[in-house]
Amino acid sequence: MEKEKVFQQLFSMSFTPMLVMNMDGDIQILNEACCHLFKTTEERLLSCNVFEEPKRFFIEKHEVEPLRKQEEEVVLLKKKVDQQFPMHIHIQRTEGDIPLLVVQWKEFSSSIEKQEEVIRKMKQYKQFVQQSQDAFIVTREGRIQYLNPAGVKLLGGEKKEEYIGRPWLHFIHPEHLEIVKERMVQLMNGMSVRPRVDVKLLTKKGVVIIESSATKIKFEGQDAIQYIIRDVTDRKKYDEMASKSEKLTMVSKLAAGVAHEIRNPMTAIKGFIQLLKASKQYNEEYNDIMLEELNRVESIIQEFLTLAKPKIENSYHPKSLNQIIRHVTLLLDTHANYKNCRIINEISDEITIFCEENALKQVFINLIQNALESMSKGTVKVTVEKRNEYGMVIIEDEGCGIDEQSLARLGEPFYSTKQTGTGLGLMISYRIIEQHQGHISFASKVGVGTKVEIALPYIKEPVNIS
């Protein structure tokens, strides 16, 4: 009752002309400013019907039809003959057992063309939001203030009234609750956040995965957050199925490749055994060839097992990336000298990384050996530096280079630019770097050389290196 008295006082004291009417246009109450606008008494206005006198009130019955459906408010722009500037008519529907319409008239000191453009854009945006397949949800102080039909559908409801005023966090999966809370605080404090995040939502239909963007806006004059949400549950399922299919395809390719690579040396071994059996004599040359082919089979099996070996987290320790590179280049110096090549190091920053040292050494040995084998003579330059949040190892050679078509296929199983290569070495290198949350990139020009960049996240805080 106290709230009703306050509302009535504010209503009657307002300088903005206002009246309340029912859905049929019959006026229920009005304020003094309204009487002043229409230059008549309260008694005479109360006996009027707004829709029956459109020239007086500037409102046509068909203009408020949207309020009988889903719309909450309508904005009209009209101009009287004796007025220079337009009149802005704001009509809002109240909630309750018997819906009523609150009408306000406001004059503006700007051209009608400008006002019409503003209203046109407002209507276009509202229409876009209402018809959008993406959910639009507005929250203020953590509670839902508005949601469009797509938002109602996303949450599994039938009417938006089911959700207005409810805490937004009640619909967030516990797995992502802290992330959403943090984003809400950051947005309201004016901080920048990631444009889009994937979040699990609890709805009447069950758990759905959404892609969401959030923006700080003004809603009814107060700070609020607008979420634009898309249901990506089906897309995620499809991506997962596609990933599994891709893995199965990769396994079949690997199996076929291993069979092919092993079959060639096994055919040779079988042929020489048959020759030895036929001659019934010991042949040193045949033995050497068979041992060489068996070593090749063993090498292929070893590389395949390395590729299949899972990552062991407890084998990771803080290590100096600079020291790892020094050890590797020192190890390969003799091989470089033998090929009339040299390796030079350029190490500018001390970088500590969390890694499995032997696995990384295997990667760097493989890449530097590839660089050396691409040259008859020349220099391999190995640079270690910091770049943003990564420790970078850059390996540059002066070799024959790789064409674009071959460059795109690097890392595929059993694809190699070397005549005797299996392609597994580079594939293993990719896997090891990915396990270290890093990445490898290649750039090359035929006749000039190749540049390999390995990025590994480094430890920013000082630690004891084991």
Predicted confidence at residue 110, as pLDDT, reads 47
Decide whether 132-231 matches 238-308 in CATH topology: no
d(CA 123, CA 117): 10
Spans of all domains in the chain: 2-112, 132-231, 238-308, 313-457
2-112 — its CATH code?
3.30.450.20
| Bridge partners, residue 89, by sequence | 76, 105
Long-range contacts of 13-21 (CB under 8 A, 24+ apart): 16/104, 16/105, 16/106, 17/104, 17/105, 18/102, 18/103, 18/104, 18/105, 19/45, 19/50, 19/102, 19/103, 20/94, 20/100, 20/101, 20/102, 20/103, 21/50, 21/100, 21/101, 21/103
- Residues of the chain under the 50 pLDDT cut: 1, 109-112
Q: Does 238-308 carry CATH code 3.30.465.10?
A: no
The CATH architecture to which 132-231 belongs is 2-Layer Sandwich (3.30)
Q: Give the pair of three-digit tokens for residue 170.
A: 């009640």
Question: Given the DSSP bridges, would you call strands 352-355 and 73-78 parallel, antiparallel or unpaired?
Answer: unpaired
Task: Count Cα neighbours of 25 within 13 Å in the Cβ-side half-sphere.
Answer: 16
pLDDT, residue 49, reads 94
| Model pLDDT for residues 336-351, shown as the tens digit of each residue | 888 889 999 998 778 9
* CATH number, domain 313-457, options 3.40.50.2300, 3.30.565.10, 3.30.70.20, 3.30.70.2740: 3.30.565.10
Q: Please give the pLDDT value at position 52.
A: 92
Can you give the pLDDT at residue 316?
81
Question: 191-209, pLDDT tens digit by residue?
Answer: 877 777 888 999 988 899 9
Whether the full predicted model's pTM is greater than 0.75, yes or no, is no
